[in-house]
Amino acid sequence: MTDDKKKSSPVEKIKTASENLRGTIAEGLRDAATGAIAEDDTQLTKFHGIYQQDDRELRAERARQKLEPAYSFMARVRVPGGRCTTEQWLALDSLAQQYGGGALRITTRQAVQFHGLLKRDLKATIQGIDRSLMDTFAACGDVNRNVMCTPLAEQSPVHASALHWAQILSDQLTPKTGAYNEIWLDGKKVTSQESATAESEPLYGPTYLPRKFKIAIAIPPHNDVDVFAHDLGFIAIERDGQLIGFNVTVGGGMGATHNDPATYPRLADVIGFCPPDQVVAVAEAVITTQRDFGDRSERKHARLKYTIDDGGLDWFSAEVSRRSGYKFQPSVEFKFTSNADRFGWQHGTDDLWHLALFVPSGRVVDRDNQRWSSGLRAVAEIHEGDFLLTPNQNLIISGVSATARERIDNLLAEYGLDLWKELTPLRLNAMACVALPTCGLAMAEAERYLPDFMDRVAAVLARHKLPGDDITVRITGCPNGCARPYVADIGLVGKAPGRYNLFLGGGHAGQRLNRLVKENLDENAILEHLDPIFGRYAAGRQDNEAFGDWLNRAELAA
């Protein structure tokens, strides 16, 4: 818990002095002498969904030429529950073509990222996003971020209700400062005096949260959102086909630092059940408890999971009850079976059809024989429903009439986008984070390495006559865990170029952390390590037993 005598971290000081997230961002944008903004402001733009980056592959050459790094910006668009209209998609696509190198990136949290935006184009991009009734505000930073929800509300009335609550949570928990409006949308400037009163942040206070905060809603049996990886989670409980409330989970988080045992991935605990009308009060109580007790001196120890481990789950739960005014009811039984997406056409409660497409690592860009930008644009131009972003970086074309299905299928085939038909579940369910060249924290490749690695894993599996359908592989370029590698059957976590820590035995439904089995391996060593294990798995698995579950039962537990 917070010790008042501890020194606040530098980021806390920046937030305090920022006048509700303004800092000198506006001035920095006007400075044409550099492609960067002031260092303190790089912390503040995160709250506006914008990260300053530079192309790491050009660093050495630019330094040799005595040039400043090739600065550019990543902007993350919030899409609560992953639902956007085709008009919105077309607007994002058009901005990507104009300013973002022709690419969009669907993230592991149902959001959309632009990469490579130049400082001079940032405002125009944000204004274009705003015109499509979307924003990047609070997509990053020490606040509640994009609220996730199992997509496709048309699967059942429970799915529709869950999305409704995701959108309410998203609205209620967005910060109130006018800084975003003022800086990016040329909104009215608020004077310091006004900002103290009209603009107070009733939920967050002037220094916001000690660290990022994430919420997900899951609908059993699908744990596609990986609810246990979130600071706060809601597991939908149904009776007679209707939502009756949620089991509440707290304290999940993936981030860790290599060789620092004080940091660790942690799965959330279920603390009880609440009816739907208590969801907002519970979320606010969890957030204010973290706001008041979270560690503001050491950012590596500032996530909610550490606040809970330091204070104890009972204390935390009682504090949330006290603040919300609601006592949790006992949790209700639930069962998750998978944390993957389900590909292909599904029929919805609306009597329309919905097609879940595999998008490799969520990267929407035209490549030789897979023209994702052009193909999805062509679909969006004739499609009357929505595009839904999944928590595994994929996309659902939602709301297609029976008669329009063939046309969509033909378009997807024409642009090379029907990969879900030909790839195996092993490949379809594998995930990698962005990593190099844009991520400033990457220690190894992830997204660019995943296809090669999966080919090699498939070859080793084939030797043991295993299709690998029950194996989830996730790779990240560093231990921060952006592709949630610590809940995968097989997790590779970047240590250095070409080298990874190998984690095995995660729960196939995201319900169990895997374990570190070997450190700092290159590809050959990883495959050599996996080969005999796959052999034993082939011989010893029970019917449909997922790799991580078998491994945990048969080997790791021993």
Residue nearer to ligand SRM on the CB measure, 434 or 546: 434
Rounded to whole angstroms, the maximal C-alpha distance in the chain is 72
Q: Does 217 bind ligand SRM (CB under 6 A)?
A: no
**Of residues 459-488, those binding ligand SRM (CB under 6 A):** 480-484
Minimum distance from CB of 449 to ligand SRM (Å)? Answer: 13
Residue nearer to ligand SF4 on the CB measure, 348 or 481: 481
**Of residues 323-382, those binding ligand SRM (CB under 6 A):** none
- 433 assigned to active site: yes
Contact 461, 468 (CB under 8 A): yes
Q: Does 510 bind ligand SF4 (CB under 6 A)?
A: no
**Of residues 284-303, those binding ligand SRM (CB under 6 A):** 303
Among 442, 460, 461, 502, indicate the residue that binds ligand SF4 (CB under 6 A): 442
CA distance 505 to 482: 18
Interface pattern 411-440 for ligand SRM (x via CB under 6 A): ----------------------xx---xxx
Q: Which residues contact 241 (CB under 8 A, 6 or more apart)?
A: 156, 157, 158
Q: At what angle do helices 279-293 and 157-172 cross, to 10 degrees?
A: 40
Minimum distance from CB of 211 to ligand SRM (Å)? Answer: 7
CA distance 27 to 30: 5
Beta strand 431-432 with 473-476 is: parallel
Question: Which of the residues 15, 22, 46, 76 is marked catalytic?
Answer: 76
Tell me which residue has tokens 């297609």: 400
Question: Which of the residues 83, 105, 212, 427 is marked catalytic?
Answer: 212
- 176 assigned to active site: no
Give the CA distances from residue 21 to residues 16, 103, 141, 209, in Å, rounded to whole numbers and listed in that order: 9, 28, 10, 13
In this structure, what token pair is assigned to residue 226? 């990986």
Among 25, 482, 517, 526, indicate the residue that binds ligand SF4 (CB under 6 A): 482
Minimum distance from CB of 235 to ligand SF4 (Å)? Answer: 25
Q: Does 488 bind ligand SF4 (CB under 6 A)?
A: no
Contact 80, 146 (CB under 8 A): yes
Give the CA distances from residue 225 to residues 33, 221, 245, 348, 556, in Å, rounded to whole numbers and listed in that order: 43, 11, 18, 20, 26
- 439 assigned to active site: yes
Q: Which residues contact 539 (CB under 8 A, 6 or more apart)?
A: none
Closest CA to 270 of 233, 237, 245: 233
Phi, psi of 90 (to 5 degrees): -65, -35
Q: Does 229 bind ligand SF4 (CB under 6 A)?
A: no
Residue nearer to ligand SRM on the CB measure, 57 or 406: 57
Minimum distance from CB of 5 to ligand SRM (Å)? Answer: 24
Residue nearer to ligand SF4 on the CB measure, 226 or 386: 226
Among 476, 501, 511, 514, indicate the residue that binds ligand SF4 (CB under 6 A): 476
Question: Which of the residues 83, 274, 433, 474 is marked catalytic?
Answer: 433
Phi, psi of 279 (to 5 degrees): -60, -45
Residue nearer to ligand SF4 on the CB measure, 251 or 491: 491
Residue nearer to ligand SRM on the CB measure, 300 or 553: 300
Q: Which residues pair with 374 in a beta bridge?
A: none
Tell me which residue has tokens 């971020």: 145
Q: Does 146 bind ligand SRM (CB under 6 A)?
A: yes
Number of chain positions touching ligand SRM (CB under 6 A): 31
CA distance 133 to 392: 24
Contact 103, 115 (CB under 8 A): yes
Contact 17, 173 (CB under 8 A): no
**Of residues 62-81, those binding ligand SRM (CB under 6 A):** 74, 76
Residue nearer to ligand SRM on the CB measure, 45 or 195: 45
Q: How many CA atoms lie within 13 A of 460 on its CB side?
A: 21
- 484 assigned to active site: no
Residues that bind ligand SRM (CB under 6 A): 51, 53, 74, 76, 107-109, 111, 113, 145-146, 212, 214, 226, 229, 253-255, 303, 393, 433-434, 438-441, 480-484
Catalytic residue positions? 76, 145, 212, 214, 433, 439, 478, 482
- Contact residues for ligand SF4 (CB under 6 A)? 433-435, 439, 441-442, 446, 476-478, 480-482
